[in-house]
C-alpha cells in the first residue's frame, strides 16, 4: 500500500509515559493508519512521488487531540449573532445590544449568545434590565449554558407566550408573581416556544457555518470530537461534508433519548447505531438526568440557596433507569448529562443495576460498552470510587470551572450551592486518583473549543480572561501529562477504540497533532498560545501553518 504521508525530524510524544519515543519519523499509508516509526532515513525511503513529505524541524507530534464533549452543528447555529461572552456586567451587555440593534434591519430578530448570568449580580435573571435597549425588538439571548435564554418582550409577544406553560419534561417559562413571563426560559422545551416564532436558517447557511466551525477546530489542533447531539439535520450535514471531502474531524455522535420516549423511539436509536460514513458515525445515546446549577434546574440532594434544583429532568427517574437497562442490553453506550450530586448518584445507580441484572453484548464496534457521565460538577466523596468500580467514564469540562466560577465563591454557581458543595467543584484530580478514566472536553459552544486551552484549564483552573486571578480548587488540577492523556488516550478508551486510537503506534490511526514545542514542559498559562503547526486526519493534513 502506498505511503500517503511522511513526517521527518519529529519529536514523538507518548501521552502514557510523558516521554519522547526514540524514533524521529513517522509514515502513514493510504488506509489512514500509521505504517512505520523509525529514523528519518528509513522512513523517508518509504515515500514516492505522490507522498506528502514534511520536515518538522524538531516540532512535537502527539496523537490527534479529541474533544470529549462537543456540539459542532448546534454550536455553529447558537453562536450566530452577538457574542456576549465577554460582557462582565449589565452595562457591557446593554452597550453590545445597542450596537446590534443599530445594525438590525427593520423587523429582524436580534440574536446573542454566551450571556453570563453573573452580569445580573444579585438581581433576578430577566429581560427587564434590557427593556430600554430592546424596546420593540424581537430578541433571543442564549445564556452561556445553552439550557436557557432570555426573550425580549416583543419576542414573547410574537410567540404568543403570555404566561406559564406545562411541559412533559423539566422546563419552565419563568413568570413573576402576577403570572407574567419575565423573559427567562429554562430548558429546551420552553426555549422552543419562542424559537418557533423566529426566522430559521436555510440548510445551505447551516452547512456553511458548520463547515467553517469544523475547519477552525482543525486549525486549533482537533482531529476528532465526541458529539453529544444529533439534532436537526446535523447527520445529513456531516454526510454532505464528508462526501464533498470537507469533513476535517472524526466525529462520534450520540443522539438524544428524551424523557417520555416510546419503545419504538428507543428501538430506533438502537437500530441507528453504527450508521454513518468513514469519518463520522452514530455511536451511543445521550440522556439528561438534570439541567444546570446556574438555572436552578440541576438535581441536588439538598436544595440550592433559592430552594431550587430539587427535581430530575426525567419526571420519573425510574423511567431513566429502565432506559439505561434497555440500552445496556442492546450493547449501546450511554452518555448521561448529570451535573448535581443527586443526578450523578442516580446515573451511577442505574448503570450499576443494568450491569448487575442484564447481560451486555459487545458494542457495535465489537469492543466493550463503556457508559459515561457528563459534567459531574459537584459530587461527594462516596461517589468518586464508583466510577472506576463500574467502569464509568468521567467526562469533564474544566474550563467551565475556570470561566464561570470564582475562587472566592462569589459567582452565581457557587452562591447557589453554598460553601460545602462549591468546594467540591469539578473534582478532576479526585476522580483521576480514584481510578476513573477522565475525558476532557469543551462542551462548545458553552466554552471555547481550542484543545490547548482545555488542557491548560485542567492544569491552572484560573479564569481564562484574567490568569492573574486565583484558581478555583487548585488541589483538583491535573498534571500536564494527565491533561494530554485526557484528550488522547482517554477518549479512545471511552469509545472502546484503544486498540486503534490515542497512541503513536504502528497500526493506529494516523490522526495527529503537531505542536511547535513540548506541551508538557510549556507552562499551563502559556499553553493556549503554543502554535499548532499541523493537524492530520487519517494521514491527510487538515491544517498546515504557513511557517511549516
In this prediction, residue 365 has a pLDDT band, given cuts at 50, 70 and 90, of low
Pairing of strands 60-63, 512-515: antiparallel
In this prediction, residue 364 has a pLDDT band, given cuts at 50, 70 and 90, of low
Quick check: is 458 in a domain? yes
Q: What is the pLDDT of residues 428-445, one digit of tens each?
A: 999 999 999 999 999 999
**CA nearest to 541, candidates 56, 44, 18:** 56
Quick check: is 73 in a domain? no
Quick check: is 546 in a domain? no
Does one domain contain both 179 and 295? no
Q: Distance between CA atoms of 432 and 174, rounded to whole angstroms?
A: 39
Q: What is the pLDDT of residues 144-197, one digit of tens each?
A: 888 899 999 999 999 899 989 988 777 899 999 999 999 999 988 999 999 999
pLDDT at 412: 92
362 pLDDT exceeds 70?
no
Of the ranges 186-195, 277-286, 408-417, 431-440, which one carries the lowest mean pLDDT score?
186-195
What are the φ/ψ torsions at residue 6 (nearest 5 degrees)?
A: -130, 130
Q: Which of 433, 462, 478 is the last residue of a domain?
A: 478
Does one domain contain both 165 and 307? no
Quick check: is 60 in a domain? no
pLDDT at 335: 98
Quote the crossing angle between the two packed helices 234-243 and 203-219, to the nearest 10°.
Answer: 70
pLDDT at 366: 59
Q: What is the pLDDT of residues 487-519, one digit of tens each?
A: 999 999 999 999 999 999 999 999 999 999 999
% of the chain exceeding 90 in pLDDT: 87
pLDDT at 358: 73
Quick check: is 93 in a domain? yes
**CA nearest to 69, candidates 330, 284, 390:** 284
Does one domain contain both 307 and 425? yes
Q: Which of 449, 478, 507 is the last residue of a domain?
A: 478
Pairing of strands 181-186, 532-537: unpaired
pLDDT at 441: 98
Does one domain contain both 293 and 173? no
Does one domain contain both 290 and 415? yes
CATH number at residue 463: 3.20.20.140
Does one domain contain both 288 and 414? yes
Does one domain contain both 325 and 448? yes
Q: State the DSSP string of 221-245.
A: TEEEEEE----TTHHHHHHHHHHTT
Structural domain for 442, as ranges: 284-478
Does one domain contain both 192 and 327? no
Quick check: is 375 in a domain? yes
Q: Which of 197, 219, 244 is the last residue of a domain?
A: 197
Give 56 or 145, the one with higher predicted confidence. 56
Q: What is the pLDDT of residues 107-132, one digit of tens each?
A: 899 999 999 888 898 888 999 999 99
Q: Distance between CA atoms of 459 and 476, rounded to whole angstroms?
A: 9
pTM of the model: 0.92
Quick check: is 506 in a domain? no
Does one domain contain both 173 and 307? no
Q: State the DSSP string of 457-526.
A: HHHH---TT-TTSPPSSGGGPPPHHHHHHTTTHHHHHHTT-TTTSSS--TTSB--EEEESS-TTTS-TTT
Pairing of strands 438-440, 512-515: unpaired
Question: Across-strand partners of 13?
Answer: 20
Q: Distance between CA atoms of 460 and 469, rounded to whole angstroms?
A: 11
Specify whether the CB–CB gap between 454 and 31 falls below 8 A.
Answer: no
Q: What is the pLDDT of residues 197-212, one digit of tens each?
A: 999 889 999 999 999 9
Mean pLDDT of the chain: 94
pLDDT at 424: 95
pLDDT at 275: 97
In this prediction, residue 106 has a pLDDT band, given cuts at 50, 70 and 90, of confident
Give the number of other Cβ atoms within 10 Å of residue 192's Cβ: 13
What are the φ/ψ torsions at residue 51 (nearest 5 degrees)?
A: -80, 135
The tally of domains found in the chain comes to: 2
139 pLDDT exceeds 70?
yes
Pairing of strands 181-186, 148-151: antiparallel
- The x, y and z cell numbers of residue 23, run together, are 524514533
Does one domain contain both 462 and 340? yes
Quick check: is 361 in a domain? yes
**CA nearest to 465, candidates 530, 528, 376, 517:** 528
Does one domain contain both 419 and 301? yes
Q: Distance between CA atoms of 219 and 107, rounded to whole angstroms?
A: 37
CATH number at residue 184: 3.10.310.70
Does one domain contain both 182 and 307? no
pLDDT at 330: 95
pLDDT at 299: 97
Amino acid at each position: 500500500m502506498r505511503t500517503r504521508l511522511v513526517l521527518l525530524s519529529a519529536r514523538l510524544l507518548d501521552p502514557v509515559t510523558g516521554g519522547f519515543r526514540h524514533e524521529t519519523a513517522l509514515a502513514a499509508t493510504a488506509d489512514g493508519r500509521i505504517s512505520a516509526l523509525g529514523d528519518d532515513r528509513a522512513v523517508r525511503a518509504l515515500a514516492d512521488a505522490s507522498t506528502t513529505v514534511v520536515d518538522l524541524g524538531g516540532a512535537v507530534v502527539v496523537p490527534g487531540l479529541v474533544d470529549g464533549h462537543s456540539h459542532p452543528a448546534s454550536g455553529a447555529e447558537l453562536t450566530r449573532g452577538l457574542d456576549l461572552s465577554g460582557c462582565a456586567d449589565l452595562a457591557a451587555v446593554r452597550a453590545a445590544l445597542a450596537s446590534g440593534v443599530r445594525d438590525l434591519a427593520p423587523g429582524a430578530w436580534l440574536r446573542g449568545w454566551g450571556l453570563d448570568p453573573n452580569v445580573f449580580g444579585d438581581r433576578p435573571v430577566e429581560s427587564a434590565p434590557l427593556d430600554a435597549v430592546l424596546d420593540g425588538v424581537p430578541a433571543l439571548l442564549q445564556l452561556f449554558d445553552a439550557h436557557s435564554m432570555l426573550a425580549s418582550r416583543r419576542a414573547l409577544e410574537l410567540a404568543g407566550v403570555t404566561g406559564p406553560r406545562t411541559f412533559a419534561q423539566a422546563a419552565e417559562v419563568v413568570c413573576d408573581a402576577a403570572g407574567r413571563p419575565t423573559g427567562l426560559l429554562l430548558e429546551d422545551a420552553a426555549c422552543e416556544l419562542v424559537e418557533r416564532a423566529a426566522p430559521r436558517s436555510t440548510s445551505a447557511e447551516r452547512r456553511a457555518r458548520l463547515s467553517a466551525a469544523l475547519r477552525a477546530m482543525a486549525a486549533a489542533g482537533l482531529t476528532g470530537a465526541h458529539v453529544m447531539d444529533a439534532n436537526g439535520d446535523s447527520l445529513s450535514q456531516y454526510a454532505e461534508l464528508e462526501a464533498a471531502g470537507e469533513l476535517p474531524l472524526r466525529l462520534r455522535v450520540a443522539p438524544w433519548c428524551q424523557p417520555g420516549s416510546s419503545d419504538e423511539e428507543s428501538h430506533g436509536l438502537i437500530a441507528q447505531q453504527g450508521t454513518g460514513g468513514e469519518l463520522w458515525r452514530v455511536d451511543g445515546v445521550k440522556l439528561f438526568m438534570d439541567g444546570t446549577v446556574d438555572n436552578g434546574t440541576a438535581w441536588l440532594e439538598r436544595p440550592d440557596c433559592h430552594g431550587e434544583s430539587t427535581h430530575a429532568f426525567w419526571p420519573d427517574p425510574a423511567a431513566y433507569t429502565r432506559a439505561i437497562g434497555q440500552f445496556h442490553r442492546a450493547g449501546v453506550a450511554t452518555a448521561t448529562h448529570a451535573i448535581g450530586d443527586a443526578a450523578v448518584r442516580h446515573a451511577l445507580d442505574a448503570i450499576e443495576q443494568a450491569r448487575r441484572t442484564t447481560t451486555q453484548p459487545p458494542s457495535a464496534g465489537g469492543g466493550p460498552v463503556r457508559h459515561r457521565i457528563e459534567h459531574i460538577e459537584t459530587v461527594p466523596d462516596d461517589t468518586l470510587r464508583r466510577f472506576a468500580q463500574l467502569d464509568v467514564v468521567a467526562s469533564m469540562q474544566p474550563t467551565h470551572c475556570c470561566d464561570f466560577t470564582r475562587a472566592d465563591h462569589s459567582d452565581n454557581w457557587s452562591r447557589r450551592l453554598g460553601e460545602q458543595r462549591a468546594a467540591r467543584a469539578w473534582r478532576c484530580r479526585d476522580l483521576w486518583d480514584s481510578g476513573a478514566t477522565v475525558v476532557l472536553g469543551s462542551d462548545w459552544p458553552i466554552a471555547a473549543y481550542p484543545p490547548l486551552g482545555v488542557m491548560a484549564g485542567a492544569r491552572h483552573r484560573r479564569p481564562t480572561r484574567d490568569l492573574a486571578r486565583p484558581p478555583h480548587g487548585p488541589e483538583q488540577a491535573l498534571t500536564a501529562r494527565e491533561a494530554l492523556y485526557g484528550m488522547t488516550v482517554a477518549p479512545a478508551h471511552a469509545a472502546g477504540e484503544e486498540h486503534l486510537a490515542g497512541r503513536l503506534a504502528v497500526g493506529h490511526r494516523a490522526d495527529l497533532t503537531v505542536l511547535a514545542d513540548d506541551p508538557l514542559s510549556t507552562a499551563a498559562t502559556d499553553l493556549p498560545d503554543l502554535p499548532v503547526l499541523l493537524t492530520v486526519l487519517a494521514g491527510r493534513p487538515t491544517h498546515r501553518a504557513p511557517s511549516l
